[in-house]
Amino acid sequence: MVVDLNKCIGCQACTVACKAEFNVPTGVFRTWVREFEDGIFPNVKVQFLPSLCNQCDDPPCVPVCPVKAIYKQEDGAVLIDAEECIGCGYCVQACPYNAIFLNPQTQVAEKCTFCINRVEQGLAPACVQTCVGGARIFGDLADEHSSVSELANSKAVQVLKPDMGTEPMVYYIGLDGKLAARVNRGGN
């Protein structure tokens, strides 16, 4: 997935679509849009950062799971087997992107799956389908002719926390400067 931050207007339509698609309870999110304020009054601006599981190529959540409930498919999707998860929360700690949570209703770990249920039926992920500004572009990165590949290859793209070495599969356009520094260095 490629997320063009220049097109995100922070409407949270993606957050709502995802909640509706997966019946995600209040207080937890599979995807959400974070807001960052920058500048000093009166010269201030708000920047938006759509956040979700990065479906890492080297996902740190997978090796720590004690019961192999999290696994990576050949197509690149990192999934959680709800029938196997014991709810220890180890993956929640291991994820550098805060993308995994313990669902208070199902009592198991949960996260974005790139809407694999929809993709298998030829549909776009719910957040991509609903994005007002067309900021989320989804496709097969292995296919060099896909729109997502063309974007990733033609534009300057960044990933979150590149120093973690997780090789995320979510690329951002416009994630640079102060925003990148604030996002990538937790707390400081």
Partner 1 sequence: MVAVYLFFVGVSAGSYVLASLPFALGLRRYEPLSKLALISAIIFAILAPLAITPHLTQPSRLFSLLFSFHQTSPLSWGTYILSAYVLAMLAYGRFSFRGDLIQRMEEESGLKASFYRALALWQTSLSEESLKTDRKFAKVSGYVALALAFLTVYTGFELGVIRAQPLWHLSISPIMFLLTALSSGFAFALSLYLVAERYFSKTRRWNMEATSGVSILLAWLLAAFLVLNAMQAILSQYTTADARFAFEYLVTGPLSTTFVWVGILLGGVVPFLIFTMPVTRKSPQLVLVGSALALVGSFATKYGVLISAQLVPKTGTTFLAYTPSLIEFAEFAGVVSLGAFLFTVVLWVLPWQQRFRLGVGV
Where does this chain bind partner 1 (CB under 8 A)? 34, 36, 51, 60, 63-68, 84-90, 93-98, 102, 107-108, 160-161, 163-165, 182-188
Q: How far is the CB of 87 from partner 1 (least distance, A)?
A: 3
Q: How far is the CB of 149 from partner 1 (least distance, A)?
A: 26
| β-strand partners of 158 | 172
Cis ω for the linkage preceding 50 (within 30 of 0): no
Nearest approach in angstroms of CB 71 to partner 1 is 10
Given the complex with partner 1, which of 105 and 147 has the nearer CB atom?
Answer: 105
Please report, as a single letter, which amino acid is at residue 107.
Q
Instruction: Return the number of the residue (40 or 142) whose C-beta is nearest partner 1.
Output: 40
In the complex, least distance from residue 120 CB atom to partner 1, rounded to whole angstroms: 26
The CA–CA distances, whole Å, from 56 to 16, 108, 140 equal: 24, 20, 14
Would you say the C-alpha torsion 54, 55, 57, 60 has a positive or negative sign? positive
Q: Are 80 and 108 in contact (CB under 8 A)?
A: yes
